[in-house]
Amino acid sequence: MKTLGKIAVLGGGSWATALAKLIADNGTPFVWYMRRQDRIDDFLKYGHNPVYLSDASFDTGLIDFRVDINEACSIADSLIVAFPSPYLKWHTDRISVDISGKNIISAVKGIVPDDNMIVTDYFARRFGCDERNMLVIGGPCHAEEVALGRLSYLTIGGKDSDKAARFASLIAGDKMRTILSDDIDGIEYGAVLKKNVYAIAAGIISGMKSGDNFMAMMVSNAIREMRHFIDAVAPMQREICDSAYLGDLLVTAYSKFSRNHNFGSMIGKGYSVQVAMMEMSQVAEGYYGTKCIHEICSRCNVEMPIADCVYAILYENENPQEAFRRITGTFS
């Protein structure tokens, strides 16, 4: 089996760090792009990311750090894109080298703002990348638990099953199991809903102290709503109870590791959206993802009561309790 060539991790946040940790633990040398030289200097000095997942130590001899994204893209054959979605275009707008022939592995958990596109579609349109050279990473995984070496499962989606298998072998280990899928669009759209919209909804319910019973009703209806949406925008045969869909929704809805869950919890406790965003130490991608999903639903005429409820709370200043009370009649 051929390798994917030289690997580059693009991004310096928690998810980028967790994925880099998996690669490093398998002894694979790789390029790592971070935009700040001071962060790279501290990383080399202390042997860990100075800001995110600082308990995860690295053999820095395996890492070729780059502060210039074009250098990283030129050196590497495969690019693991792990920027928070609100900052994706800020970074990619600085790419001036030809990456149309590169393998693109999207680890982005959101949608491209303004364009309302999933990341693989964006790279195909913006850079001319080939769909068969693109992979996506999904599944019920928190970066913190991956970095701590807790048993986790990731789904690698790709049209080229051989490339998906090659990448899976790059990150697999005793504590990381991998599953292959050909549902690129479903995994990406599902991640936007689970990691963003429904995570905020779960957080709001938790913050309002609405109880486990109502949380269970929201989650069970969310998985049906997600299936309805994905089947409408990316129709194909899929099993919505697979870990990449239902499993990811469950871990996001019930875990305090989720930034979007914590963001929603603050709103449920009575914080305004603006204050909650200022209090967050990390960006809550779901705020932007919710707007993107709302616009896609309007364009495609897809009814999404829970997503509409979260949108009304975030963008129309509707009271959270009243917003959820309004949609409870749609639950079954």
pLDDT at 1: 43
CATH number, residue 113: 3.40.50.720
pLDDT at 281: 67
- Round to whole Å and give the CA distance between 143 and 114: 27
Whole domain around residue 72: which residue ranges?
7-182
Q: Is residue 212 part of a domain?
A: yes
Our count of domains for the chain comes to 2
pLDDT tens across the length of the chain (332 residues): 457 999 999 999 999 999 999 999 999 999 999 999 999 999 999 999 999 999 999 999 999 999 999 999 999 999 999 999 989 999 999 999 999 999 999 999 889 988 989 999 999 999 999 999 999 999 998 899 998 889 999 999 999 999 999 999 999 999 999 999 999 999 999 999 988 899 999 999 999 999 999 999 999 999 999 999 999 999 999 999 999 999 999 988 888 788 889 999 999 999 999 899 888 766 678 888 999 999 999 999 999 999 999 999 999 999 999 999 999 888 98
Question: Does residue 301 share a domain with residue 190?
Answer: yes
DSSP three-state, residue 154: strand
pTM of the model: 0.93
Query: What are the beta bridge partners of residue 9?
Result: 32, 80
Strands 134-138 and 152-158: antiparallel
CATH number, residue 296: 1.10.1040.10
Strands 7-10 and 134-138: unpaired
Question: Does residue 219 share a domain with residue 153?
Answer: no
Question: Does residue 205 share a domain with residue 148?
Answer: no
- State which of 137, 156, 182 marks the end of a domain: 182
Residue 252: alpha-carbon gap to chain centroid: 11
Nearest residue to 32 via CA among 17, 54, 14, 22: 17
- State which of 148, 182, 216 marks the end of a domain: 182
